[in-house]
Structure formats: C-alpha cells, structure tokens
Amino acid sequence: MNSLSVQIPATDSAGQQPAWLRELKHDGAEQFRASGLPTRKDEAWKYTPLGALRLDDVRMAAGESAAGRTAMADPFAAAGLRVDLLSGRVLEINGEMPAGVSVVPLHEALAGASADLRSLLESLPASGSAHAFTALNTATLERGVLIRVGAGGDAGRILLNYSSAAAETPSLFNTRICILLGAGAGLELVEQYQSAKGSDDTGNVVMQAVLDEGACLSHVRLQQEPGSAGLITRTEISQGADSEYSYYGFDLGGGFVRHDLHSTLAGAGASAHFNGAYLVDGNRLVDNHVKVDHAAPGCVSEQVFRGVAGGGGKAVFNTAVCVHPGADGTEALQSNANILLSARAEIDAKPEFEIYADEVVASHGATVGQLDEQAVFYLRSRGLNEDEARQLLITAFCRSVSDRLTDPAMAEAISARLLEAQPRQ
C-alpha cells in the first residue's frame, strides 16, 4: 500500500487564474485525495505494483531552473519545430512556426484560455484510483504545451524533447500536452524522453488530442529514460470522421514505465494505428495499456506490439477494444508477440474484445515465446558470434514495428536505437 501524501504546490505562474480553472484543479486535488493511488486490486494495475516506483520519498517538482538542463542530441535532424521541456516545463521553443500553427507553453494558454482548450481540459475523466495520476496532473495544471493547427494547416514535424536532471531528491513532475487539430489539419509529433543519467525523477505526462474531421496525427514516442527514472503517461485521443491517428512507440528505457493509450473513434471512417515495441531487462518494468472505443461505423483500428524481456525485466501489454452499438462495419486487429530471454523475465499479455455491433471484422493474437534457436545457429554457422546473432534477431523482431514508420530515415534512426538498447539476457 502506498502512502503518498502529496502537497499540491501553490501555482507557480504569476498570472490570475480564471475561476473554471481554479475549480478544475481543486476537483482534481479532491479526486486524488479521495481515491489514493492505484493498488494491485485495481484490475488495470494488477501486474504493475507502484511499490517499484518508490513514490514515498518523492516530492512534487517545484521550479527548477534551466541550469539543470542536459545537452540532448537531436536524433532527428530533420525536425521542424522543437520544444525542450525540463521536468515538464517548457524551456525553449525553437524553429519556424508554419502558417496556421501555434505552439505555446500551457501556462500562457491557460491565462487566456479559449473555449476549446477549456472544454478539452474539462473533458478528461479523472475519477477513481485507476486515474489517480490524471487527477494529480489536473490538480497541478501549469506545465506543458498547447499545440494548435488550424483547419487545413500542416504543422510538419514538431519535436517534444523531455528531460529531467539528476538531483539529490527524486521528484515527481506533472505536465500536460494539449493538441487541437482542425479539420484536415496534419501534424507529425515526435516525443523523445531522455533524462540525464542517474535521474530518478518520475514524469506524469498527460496528452490530450482532438482530431477534427479528416485531421491526421502521426505520433512517434522514443522513450530512452535511464533505468533509475519513472514515467507514467496517459494519451487520450478523440477522433472525428475520417481522421487518422498513427502511434509508433518505442519504450527502450525507464525503470518504471506505464502508458495508458486510449482513442475514441467518434466519427465515421476514422482510423487508429498503434505500433509499439518495448524492451526490458534488469528490474525494469514497462506496461502498455491500449484501449480503443469504436463509437462510429466504418472505423478501423490496428495494433501491432512487440516486446522483448530479459534479466528480471517485466513487460505488461493489455489491449481492450470495445465496439459500441451502431459501430457497424468496424475492423479491429490486434497482434502482440513477445520474446522472453530469461527464465526470470516476465511478460503479461492480455487482449480483450467487447463487440456490440454487426459486420465486425476482429482478430487478435498474443504470443510469448523464445528466440528461435535454429535461426541463432544459422547465423552462427555463417560467422556471427552468439551475441551478434541474438542482437540481430531481436532487432529484426522489433523492426517489424519500426519499419512501419513512413519516414525511412526515422525508421533507420530508431532501429539503430533498438540495437543499442538490446536487453541483457
């Protein structure tokens, strides 16, 4: 049982807050106090004990200065706009803003909040212990970014670079990323998580995106946190008719990583593609929970996840697809394959389907196996040593995810990271 007593800090922005925002944050704080942190009795946290996170000696991140900033290489040289965040706080926004695109730190956006931002923030469910981290995030709304792309606009690539410095006391930071895409708008969002070596902070990052009719969001997440760091993220996507969301997530690091990824296909003809790879070893834990609500007819969702666990590493992959009444002609595909490299490693894979509509095409497959020893021998018989052979096979296994990226340069860059992040047996 976790006994986290969080002192929710007074706002660190100077400006006056509108009443609705004060109320929203107050409600978040109340919800968090009422629910407490999730325990293993919560079905959604059954395999993911928060004890591993050592939250009891965590304090809420206060106002770090830019001095703690770490130098980060930009892995994607072709990035357009680049937003650097330290402990969730926007430090810098660099690059040229394309027409019809605005990227502003959240605290500025909150000061003059528009109706659509307000309704976005108010729309996020945060009650119950399963959503305790969301409630906490709402209670401390301040840090983060608002990205807005007007109807028909194309933002190109925007890179969000998250880091946190190594400090004496581990802290928990909250940040909120809000994305509003107008009709037919396009955005390629790249998130990179790479904190300083030895950082034992925990990020609590909530992303909310609304895709209006025909909008297109490509979302790449490259997570290479040090094994000492924690990361809890929730991604909430709301999709209008004919909109398209594509997720490519690579969890290569982090000591305790939980990602709740949820899309609501609310308009006819929308599609959501979730692709992910996760590599764990040591005592690291990565938990991906994907949920898709098919709430309109003729929508497509597809999930392709690959995981590799070595050492005493643990990975959880839970997927739930709900096809609501009236969502006829739905197509929902799930594929999850995992490789265990050691007897101590653990993988919990659980697919769920609920179908209340007609003419639904649904398929799922979840496998947990071992590396193909025939293939290892084949490679060794050609001159590769055993480590090289295993690395090549593991990378190839994960490449079935990275090769789905539409940009070959990025696919190449990420597959190089996959090779570097090889889990130890």
Partner 1 sequence: MLTIRNLHARVDGKEILKGLDLEVKGGEVHAIMGPNGAGKSTLGNVLAGREGYEVTQGEVIFKGRNLLEMEPEERACEGVFLAFQYPVEIPGVNNTYFLRAALNAQRKYRGEDILDSAGFLRLVRDKLKILQIGDELLRRAVNEGFSGGEKKRNEIFQMAVLEPQLAILDETDSGLDIDALKTVASGVNSLRSPDRAMILVTHYQRLLDYIVPDKVHVLANGRLVATGGAELALKLEDQGYAWLDDGGIAPLGADQQEQVASP
According to CB under 8 A, which one of 362, 400, 417, 419 is a site residue for partner 1?
A: 400
Contact track, partner 1, 343-382, x by CB under 8 A: -----------------------------xxxx-xxxxxx
Cβ atoms of 210 and 177 within 8 Å: the answer is: no
**Could you say which residues in the range 375-394 bind partner 1, by CB under 8 A?**
375, 377-386, 388-389, 392-393
Residue 384 burial by Cβ neighbours in a 10 Å radius (0-12, 13-18, 19+): middle
Report in angstroms the alpha-carbon separations of 69 from 163, 167, 193: 8, 11, 13
Question: Does residue 396 belong to the site contacting partner 1 (CB under 8 A)?
Answer: yes
Nearest-CA neighbor of 144 among 111, 105, 183? 105
- The distance of closest approach from Cβ of residue 222 to partner 1 in the complex, given in angstroms and rounded to an integer, is 19
| Binding span for partner 1 by CB under 8 A among 11-19, 71-79, 107-115, 397-405 | 397-405
Site for partner 1 in 119-158 (CB under 8 A): none
Q: How far apart are CA 173 and CA 87, in angstroms?
A: 6
> Whose Cβ is closer to partner 1: residue 63's or residue 408's?
408
**Piece of the chain touching partner 1 by CB under 8 A; list 172-180, 203-211, 243-251, 399-407:** 399-407
In terms of CB distance, is 7 or 374 closer to partner 1? 374
Binds partner 1 by CB under 8 A, chosen from 165, 397, 414, 423: 397
Q: Give the integer Cα–Cα distance in Å for 145 and 424.
A: 36
Q: Residue 378 Cβ, how far from partner 1 at the closest point, in Å? A: 4
> Which residue, 66 or 409, has its beta carbon nearer to partner 1?
409
Q: Which is nearer to partner 1, 3 or 374 (CB)?
A: 374
Which residues have CB under 8 Å from 46's CB, separation 6+? 40
Task: Give the number of other CB atoms < 10 A from CB of residue 347.
Answer: 23
Is residue 411 a contact point for partner 1 (CB under 8 A)? no
Of the pair 366, 375, the CB lying nearest partner 1 is at: 375
C-alpha to C-alpha distances, 401 to 68, 282, 409, nearest whole angstrom: 34, 23, 14
Partners of 317 in beta bridges = 288, 349
Considering the complex, what minimum distance in angstroms separates the CB of residue 379 from partner 1? 7
Nearer to partner 1, 46 or 380 (CB): 380
Q: Is 250 helix (H, G, I), strand (E, B) or coil?
A: strand
Residue closer to partner 1 by CB (options 178, 337) is 337
CB of 395 to partner 1, least distance (A): 8
Q: Could you tell me if 374 and 381 are in contact, meaning their C-beta atoms sit under 8 angstroms apart?
A: no
* Choice between 63 and 383, CB closer to partner 1: 383
Put the strands of the sheet holding 81-86 in their side by side order: 89-94, 81-86, 154-163, 186-193, 216-223, 244-251, 271-280, 300-309, 331-340, 361-369
Nearer to partner 1, 403 or 407 (CB): 403
How would DSSP label each residue in 175-239?
A: EEEEEEE-TT-EEEEEEEE-PPTT---EEEEEEEEEE-TT-EEEEEEEE---TT-EEEEEEEEEE
CA distance 162 to 193: 5
- C-beta of 253: minimal distance to partner 1 in Å? 22
Which of 46, 350, 399, 417: binder of partner 1 (CB under 8 A)? 399
Strand, coil or helix: what is 345? coil
Work out how close the CB of 382 gets to partner 1 at its nearest, in angstroms, rounded to a whole number. 4
Closer CB to partner 1, 29 or 411, in the complex: 411
Number of residues that bind partner 1 (CB under 8 A): 24
Find the shortest distance in angstroms from Cβ 377 to partner 1: 6
Task: Quote the tokens at residue 19.
Answer: 């009443």
Site residues, partner 1 (CB under 8 A) = 372-375, 377-386, 388-389, 392-393, 395-397, 399-400, 403
